[in-house]
Amino acid sequence: MLKIIIPSLMLLPLTWLSSNKNVWINVTAHSFLINTLAMATLWQMNETGMGLSQTFYIDPLSSSLIMLVIWLLPLMLLASQNHIKKETDYNKKLYISMLIILQTLLIPTFSANELMLFYILFEATLIPTLVIITRWGNQTERLSAGLYFLFYTLVGSIPLLIALISINSSLGSLNTLLLTLSNYMLNQSWSNHILWLACMMAFMIKMPLYGVHLWLPKAHVEAPIAGSMILAAILLKLGGYGMMRLSVILDPLTKSMAYPFIMLSLWGMIMTSSICLRQTDLKSLIAYSSVSHMALVIAAIMIQTPWSFMGASALMIAHGLTSSLLFCLANTNYERIHSRTMIMARGLQTAFPLMALFWFLGSLTNLALPPSINLIGELLISISLFSWSNFTILLVGTNILITALYSLYMLITTQRGTLTPHMINLQPSHTRELTLMMLHITPLSLLMINPKFIMGNTL
């Protein structure tokens, strides 16, 4: 594990000591090299996972998420080159350092053996993200977006800290492996209900659950492109990952306590998808679509069946790549017209045919077209929800329909039709941008062939 963490940490001196014209290429190339090291963790040979040391443990659930984190850093760097180029060199290096610190904190988060270590790193990832959103966002609303982001997450996670400390004192250890073997049964009592809520609320807010999702559209819209990418792709999945890890100690109370959250997820799925149909802001549409997909993941984790966990892990990875791709595409729009309004730049298929291909593929994977991995995730979750209760098919089916509607709406509004006549300043697609999209699409396509890497630990 150190062979992944120490190179990631060493990217920091690399940024600060590189000469100004070599910073981007150095950091991007070296972060790609770290990817080759991390791919070895995907080789999960047995169901017990890789117990690497006393602090780090990678099981098939963590390995796909760690791979996503490490894959995303060079992509974030590629995406940020344009909007950062006007800043001073010191600011450029500071921005890159924030991204590197975020990755260095996220890798141990997903491989932490102890839940307390996981919690500390979970909280620590908030700081670089807050700095990225509030310092390098584009509109004045970024300040309130940062506040919402920080305080929504903190309100949930302080009770989590107290819950973890109390479980530690009663069980003796918070080791994730030992917890699976312990006999910690939560009986029906008021304090156990509050303990369940305290454990789960932090991750529900992070995912986000429909009732407490208000921070997400603000944070995603106001963040710069790398901030949006890391938020949509990884930080939301921290919630799912935490819920999956903690659910081993929260039985059997989950059977009764999960109902309100399953209701909120199922209804919230439809509500947020419907809001997507009425959005005028492109990034806001993609942000609400993230809420909708993650509501499926929450519902799947709450019902705790093998297939639903497989679907949840698959959907987390698939959605991470797809959402990040859509945000990058929206950013290519924004860099040209400096506005996020969808109807301002229409008919882009005529102007940017190759980028239109990536818009097309991104929208298709967003609406969970077979045989993409998004479909695998959504299908497994739908089937397991159907076996939980037959009536969920009404809600999940409606959501699949509305997801298809807004994905195609976004595609048709931006790509099809006649080009807006007065848009004469549209620079052609940079090779960097096309590379970025290709690097998103390649894992999405290759994982279609062998999705067992992303199916999580109940495979």
Partner 1 sequence: MADSKYKPAPLATLPSTLNPAKYDLSLETRKAQIERLSIRARLKLEYLLQYNDPKRQMHIEDAALIHWAYARSTNIYPNFRPTPKNSLLGVVAAFGPLIFWYYVFKTDRDRKENLIQEGKLDRTFKLSY
Site residues (vs partner 1, CB under 8 A) = 141, 259-260, 262-264, 266-267, 280-281, 284, 305-307, 337, 339, 341, 343-344, 383-384, 387-392, 395, 420-425
Give 342 or 361: the residue with its C-beta nearer to partner 1. Answer: 342
**Cα–Cα distance, 116 to 114 (Å, whole number):** 5
Residue 37, classed as helix, strand or coil, is helix
The Cα-based distances of 12 to 8, 212, 244, 441, 459 in angstroms read: 8, 35, 32, 28, 37
Give 23 or 302: the residue with its C-beta nearer to partner 1. Answer: 302
Non-local (6+) Cβ contacts of 120 within 8 A are none
Residue 277, classed as helix, strand or coil, is helix
Which residue intervals of 55-175 are DSSP H helices?
Answer: 60-84, 89-111, 115-124, 126-136, 142-171
Give 298 or 395: the residue with its C-beta nearer to partner 1. Answer: 395
Give 306 or 371: the residue with its C-beta nearer to partner 1. Answer: 306
Shortest spacing between CB 27 and partner 1, in angstroms: 32
Shortest spacing between CB 256 and partner 1, in angstroms: 10
Is residue 345 a contact partner of residue 263, using CB atoms and an 8 Å limit?
A: no
Shortest spacing between CB 222 and partner 1, in angstroms: 11
H/E segment holding residue 58: strand 57-58
Give 256 or 435: the residue with its C-beta nearer to partner 1. Answer: 256
Give 337 or 448: the residue with its C-beta nearer to partner 1. Answer: 337
Listed residue (240, 245, 282) closest to 261, CA to CA? 240
Q: Which two tokens stand for residue 117?
A: 């270590």
Shortest spacing between CB 282 and partner 1, in angstroms: 11
Give 151 or 391: the residue with its C-beta nearer to partner 1. Answer: 391
DSSP for 390-453, written as a single string: TTHHHHHHHHHHHHHHHHHHHHHHHHSSPPPTT----PPPPHHHHHHHHHHHHHHHHHHH-GGG
**Cα–Cα distance, 455 to 315 (Å, whole number):** 9
Residue 87, classed as helix, strand or coil, is coil
Shortest spacing between CB 126 and partner 1, in angstroms: 25
Listed residue (148, 30, 34, 141) closest to 96, CA to CA? 30
Shortest spacing between CB 380 and partner 1, in angstroms: 9
Shortest spacing between CB 452 and partner 1, in angstroms: 16
H/E segment holding residue 324: helix 306-337
Shortest spacing between CB 341 and partner 1, in angstroms: 5
Give 246 or 395: the residue with its C-beta nearer to partner 1. Answer: 395
Give 138 or 420: the residue with its C-beta nearer to partner 1. Answer: 420
Shortest spacing between CB 86 and partner 1, in angstroms: 17
**Cα–Cα distance, 134 to 128 (Å, whole number):** 10
- Rg of the chain's alpha carbons, rounded to an integer? 21
